[in-house]
Chains A and B, each alone.
Chain A
């Protein structure tokens, strides 16, 4: 059995593909560690109680709220923040599609959405790779809405984000792109 005194925990985990270490009290939230200790500010504490998704990160491949994860839970997790998503091929397509569709306005929630969508599309495309084309399970709008239930946005009304997500699905499935948007940006 491991027992830790109410002093600091020594943590070793993978952060954006890099072995990382820090010392933190047991209750310190992952979101605060990322922002204040590692300088990774894309995960944002917009509510602190797991209700908004702005702090979303990938935790062993799954989207979780970094404000709900504490130091004592980290263990040897593989954590990827929005800043480290480009290691996942689907992420780049997701980001381009969202940008093409002007998915966001103030953008504060954007990294959280990108993390969730990347996880969704990676799951699907990984599963899809094992199936024939006809069986491949592309997420539709219903699936996307379900997956994004924990990501709040106050500016957009969500439809621009849905358009971006659906564009990403099309691009990942290799559909021919429609009329390209104006700027290469």
Chain B
């Protein structure tokens, strides 16, 4: 793990001579370093580069900042922050090439600190290509006095220690200079450079007088392409042989391979960018496919979600203002005086035997209060939601680099960090299993007693072999999905304390407090009643806080230290130790008749579990249950295998196997459609499954709206904006494509897994109607949902309701996972609402001396009973809510008795309180884990594919959904939009790359989640709320729906644009370039 920086000395010279002298005086053998903005230091230190002993800070030196414009040159002080250059009114017109390059450096806030000199001095800066193209001059000072050299010359010799750049000089650009600059990156904004290019051409009388072509940035050595330049100068400008130039560039560019992009891609994309940027055409041709579909009529009953389209149903979240104000406290924000700080020691080896653990030195460090190892575990040293195969603290073997081995609690973070380094663990390295296929070989090292095959799931119906023989078209492909990281902004963490009676309280973000408590009780050998677990509110989870994370270590530290302890994982630790989405290889063979009817589906999935099972078995089961997607296929054969490796740990992640599978299924659909000569819509229409049966032929809940979702997708206005519609892309080097996908998602845990729910309604002493659930608010909008459901069912006002979450005194609501929370809340109100309302009315009737039958609940209190409303409403209510007039606009009737008055009049033990307990509805099918309740959807994506860089950007996203009544418009909209963009990351930019069991992508510098620039230009979300008559399953959850169709919709849009369907995600720009033009 990282070591904290040495407490270096900082010198602040006030003149250049002083600065040089400081460096010269630095004691030999101890490093000194000039520093400007210092923005690169945190990452350097995180990556293990040692901090210097002396920092010589240049910020106090006069005359190192500022921009001076003259007619020929622009002089820029080296300490000028890049942000200042951006804001300079003249800079954009005098040096537009450098301005363009600056725009692509980091992000605005970083540019407020980062300096021009700093970008140059490191020799890897993103501005070097532009400065080389400008033939910048560097002016500096060193031990030998002042110096002046061209940047090109300066780069050609090794750095001289103690030398300082003071000024950068560039020419004032003329209007007739031609130039181009591009930073080719891995994300639309704030990305490490893959390769940067810059070019500058000066003409005279049609001949090229000056040609400067440069590359650099990141891992690419900064260089002028002097041979290509020399060749270019032999060309007449109006007759440049651009293809030849392209070849010269590719041959001369020197660039490396790395874990993300190949050297070949770097050369190719850079050559494309220089040619295209200077005005030449790109080699190759486009493959526009006419996929246009005449838009059909809009779907009746579908509503477009938004504040302006649904104003009466738009409510601000109860917790919104505090979160925006910054006053909201997350579980990792708690600090009390004398609270200790905890840290966890991670294995650092992907696979090793522990020979010894010695904590003596750590315990002896002043300020350390407790050190814990497996020896401190009184109960069972094992946890895991499905299989308890993961140790709380390792005792004999470590199976992934993030495995927890020990933990410390100390008076402050620095001491805790230092103590970790003093824990002596001796390991015997064991062979590392890095590949799930290799893990299943007979001679592979066995990672668990039962072998490396954690789960095998097989299913078959019909006769696939005979069916394939009868198919007119068969398509077999291997789809590969990456290890995706949850990326919740609040990392795992919280605090723990033991009281005088030995009761342990743990506050740490999670997704099922009562289940956490059960697991922790086993580890700590404490009765559950002596443990209180609070898991909310948390800053994002997406499944990554479902399994225990820091709680075992936190609890052990608190128990041993007998003082409160807080512990939060740094992002780097979260990357190292946290669960990830299971990488999957999905081999899929699909066959259809000549008319497009699907006949056979064969699927073979291999999923990488990593070191421990966690929820892997359920992820695999869910994937397999979605193996035929939304289609009717008579002959099916599937096999799914989950293999242990030493590659981190796989766990629950929104989508949960279904979204990996829908990527494969939906791409097969489009590709078979093309083979059959059918449109994507028509092919699907011929194959939609019946809405009342699930994958196993088992009965499922009614109201599945597959045909409606297909119609909705077909009706999307995006289809009319195909290849020739340039809206959103004026760039002729971008190829536009439109594609679609459908999906459905099974809610709840399934037929084989105990899945109970519950909740409580009670009147609080202050008169608020409290709806209590042990569900978690992790941002999905649970609080808003609770308010919405309660007001809809009880006809009270929104201000009358107080959602109470994380209350472990009431019925267990079950986990906040599997899109089940909405149902749990709704069903609780259905079961408990009438009784609760009756009790309130009875209590009110006694006080008012009236018959309870003449009363009902209203806004603010009990009101006169209203006549049943004959007209169905358009408000939040479902059609069959219990309150007689809740179907109408909530009546603003006169309050006969306010809730607060009523509550005040009742003794505490007579305040109405009604519990509901129920099982989440499941199907009777038990031969495999199967879902009963489904939400369905469709997505149409319009993308622009760059022929320069091979990148894909999403212009438009049209999401359709059928999940029953929308209980809170803003929360539903947020889940759909958020799921879509998380899916865009999965499709285009995210992969937690590992090699030899170690993460290559160790933080957000290289693991790239979508930035705001990567979000689609336009997004639309619609919902079809209708349920079948008699459907008593209420609103479905959409938490996992939005992420399922977006990946294949994008892939199918790319297919439409360029004729290639990407079968590995994140989509490789190099493959895209090869598909759009022939390249060596």
The interface residues of chain B lying within 8 Å CB-to-CB of A160 are 970, 973-974, 977
Given A47-B571, A49-B42, A67-B42, A72:B981 Cβ within 8 A: no
Given A83-B327, A158-B981, A185-B316, A148:B974 Cβ within 8 A: no
Contact A65 B110 (CB under 8 A): yes
The interface residues of chain A lying within 8 Å CB-to-CB of B973 are 160
Q: Which of B44-67 contact A (CB under 8 A)?
A: 46, 51, 55, 57, 59
Contact B490 A46 (CB under 8 A): yes
Contact A45 B12 (CB under 8 A): no
Q: Using an 8 Å CB-CB cutoff, how does the interface string of A1-40 with B read, 1 for contact, 0 for none?
A: 1111111010000000000000001110100100110010
Given A108-B540, A110-B324, A182-B312, A27:B112 Cβ within 8 A: no
Complex CA gap A95/B323 in Å reads: 10
The interface residues of chain A lying within 8 Å CB-to-CB of B1019 are 157, 159
Q: Using an 8 Å CB-CB cutoff, how does the interface string of B1001-1030 with A read, 1 for contact, 0 for none?
A: 001110001111101100100000000000
The yes or no answer to A133 lying at the interface (CB within 8 A) is no
- Cross-interface CB contact of A72 among B55, B320, B324, B330, cutoff 8 Å: B55
Q: Using an 8 Å CB-CB cutoff, how does the interface string of A139-156 with B read, 1 for contact, 0 for none?
A: 000000111111111111
The yes or no answer to B702 lying at the interface (CB within 8 A) is no
Closest Cβ–Cβ distance, residue B108 to chain A (whole Å)? 6
Residue in B closest to A46 when the chains form the complex, CB atoms: B489
Size category of the A interface is 35 or more
Complex CA gap A148/B113 in Å reads: 16
Q: Using an 8 Å CB-CB cutoff, how does the interface string of B777-794 with A read, 1 for contact, 0 for none?
A: 011110000000000000
The yes or no answer to B690 lying at the interface (CB within 8 A) is no
The yes or no answer to A105 lying at the interface (CB within 8 A) is yes
- Cross-interface CB contact of A157 among B323, B971, B981, cutoff 8 Å: B981
Contact A159 B977 (CB under 8 A): yes
The yes or no answer to B893 lying at the interface (CB within 8 A) is no
- Which of A67, A101, A106 neighbours the largest number of chain B CB atoms within 10 Å of its CB? A106
Closest Cβ–Cβ distance, residue A61 to chain B (whole Å)? 10
Residue in B closest to A157 when the chains form the complex, CB atoms: B981
Contact B489 A49 (CB under 8 A): no
Contact B1004 A51 (CB under 8 A): yes
Complex CA gap A102/B571 in Å reads: 27
Closest Cβ–Cβ distance, residue B571 to chain A (whole Å)? 4
Q: Using an 8 Å CB-CB cutoff, how does the interface string of A45-88 with B read, 1 for contact, 0 for none?
A: 11111111110100100111101111011000000011100000
Closest Cβ–Cβ distance, residue A43 to chain B (whole Å)? 8
The interface residues of chain A lying within 8 Å CB-to-CB of B41 are 68, 70
Closest Cβ–Cβ distance, residue A139 to chain B (whole Å)? 12
Contact B491 A46 (CB under 8 A): yes
At the interface, is chain A mostly helix, strand, loop or mixed?
loop
A-B contact count (CB 8 A): 287
Complex CA gap A44/B347 in Å reads: 27
Contact A163 B307 (CB under 8 A): yes
The interface residues of chain B lying within 8 Å CB-to-CB of A121 are none
Q: Which of B254-312 contact A (CB under 8 A)?
A: 307-308, 311-312
The yes or no answer to A135 lying at the interface (CB within 8 A) is no
Contact B107 A104 (CB under 8 A): no
- Cross-interface CB contact of A27 among B5, B312, B1009, cutoff 8 Å: B5
The interface residues of chain A lying within 8 Å CB-to-CB of B834 are none
Given A49-B1005, A108-B330, A159:B8 Cβ within 8 A: no
The yes or no answer to B686 lying at the interface (CB within 8 A) is no
Contact B311 A181 (CB under 8 A): yes
Closest Cβ–Cβ distance, residue A141 to chain B (whole Å)? 9
Complex CA gap A158/B954 in Å reads: 14
Contact A158 B1015 (CB under 8 A): yes
Given A101-B307, A152-B1004, A183-B316, A106:B109 Cβ within 8 A: no
Contact A107 B55 (CB under 8 A): no
Contact A154 B7 (CB under 8 A): no
Q: Using an 8 Å CB-CB cutoff, how does the interface string of B975-996 with A read, 1 for contact, 0 for none?
A: 0011111100000000000000
Given A49-B1005, A67-B42, A100-B307, A148:B335 Cβ within 8 A: no
The interface residues of chain A lying within 8 Å CB-to-CB of B489 are 44, 46, 52, 54, 106, 108-109, 152-155
Closest Cβ–Cβ distance, residue B175 to chain A (whole Å)? 24
Closest Cβ–Cβ distance, residue B267 to chain A (whole Å)? 28
Given A27-B51, A149-B190, A1:B308 Cβ within 8 A: no
Given A149-B1012, A179-B311, A47:B10 Cβ within 8 A: no
The interface residues of chain B lying within 8 Å CB-to-CB of A106 are 323, 488-490, 537-540, 778-779
Closest Cβ–Cβ distance, residue A96 to chain B (whole Å)? 9
The yes or no answer to B325 lying at the interface (CB within 8 A) is yes
Binding site for A on B (CB under 8 A): 4-14, 18, 22, 38-39, 41-43, 46, 51, 55, 57, 59, 83, 103, 106-110, 112-113, 189-190, 307-308, 311-321, 323-330, 333, 335, 412-413, 486-491, 537-540, 542, 570-572, 778-781, 798, 970-971, 973-974, 977-982, 1003-1005, 1009-1013, 1015-1016, 1019
Given contacts A41-B335, A81-B326, A105-B780, 7 further A-B contacts (CB under 8 A): A27-B51, A35-B335, A46-B571, A65-B110, A107-B328, A107-B539, A149-B1011
Binding site for B on A (CB under 8 A): 1-7, 9, 25-27, 29, 32, 35-36, 39, 41-42, 44-54, 56, 59, 62-65, 67-70, 72-73, 81-83, 95, 98-111, 114, 116, 145-163, 178-183, 185
Q: 8 A-B Cβ contacts within 8 A?
A: A4-B10, A6-B6, A9-B10, A39-B335, A48-B1003, A51-B1005, A63-B108, A102-B970
8 pairs of A and B residues whose beta carbons are closest in the complex: A150-B107, A106-B779, A107-B323, A42-B326, A108-B539, A157-B981, A105-B779, A82-B326
